[in-house]
Amino acid sequence: MFVLMTGLVYILSSSSFAGEPAPSPQPEVELVLGYTVKDRRIVAVDGDNVFIDGETVVAWTQVAGFGWGIMQHVWYHDGVEVARHDLPVGSSRRWRSWSRQRVSEGLWQVEVIAPDGQVLRQESFTVAAWEPGC
């Protein structure tokens, strides 16, 4: 027996609709370090990720395929956690967010943490002592 399906029944039986963002199997995550954010984009540091004692460093993150929730930037100085910033994200579309931290001499690391606790990306950098006349 052949059953004729009307347009409304067909649409209601669909699992997704046109224009609906498709979930990504793995979130896309970008983490870039710099000094400032301009027009929601990071002004990145050229080269070796070396900063000077007393400067403010910005960790800029762009995510896609993440879903609703809170991601975190976790800052470490010489292996010790010094800051944890909650950054809300929404939907499966692209989101950009950033956090700032005044840094002191030593080895630093920033991690991007998913709502489930998974480390999505990390970046390490060195902070050098400030020397007068440089």
Q: What are phi and psi of 7, to 5 degrees?
A: -60, -40
Q: Is the pLDDT of residue 76 over 90?
A: yes
Q: How confident is the model at residue 16 (pLDDT cuts 50, 70, 90)?
A: very low
Give domain 23-128's CATH architecture. Sandwich (2.60)
Pairwise CA distance, residues 92 & 27, whole Å: 9
Question: 128-132: which pairs have CB atoms within 8 A and are 24 or more residues apart?
Answer: 128/50, 128/51, 128/52, 128/53, 129/52, 129/53, 129/105, 130/52, 130/53, 130/54
Q: How do residues 23-44 score in pLDDT, each as one tens digit?
A: 546 778 999 888 877 777 777 6
Encoding tokens for residue 97?
């967010």
Higher pLDDT, 23 or 17: 23
Higher pLDDT, 21 or 64: 64
pLDDT at residue 18, as a whole number: 44
Q: Which residue ranges make up each domain of the chain?
A: 23-128
pTM > 0.95: yes or no: no
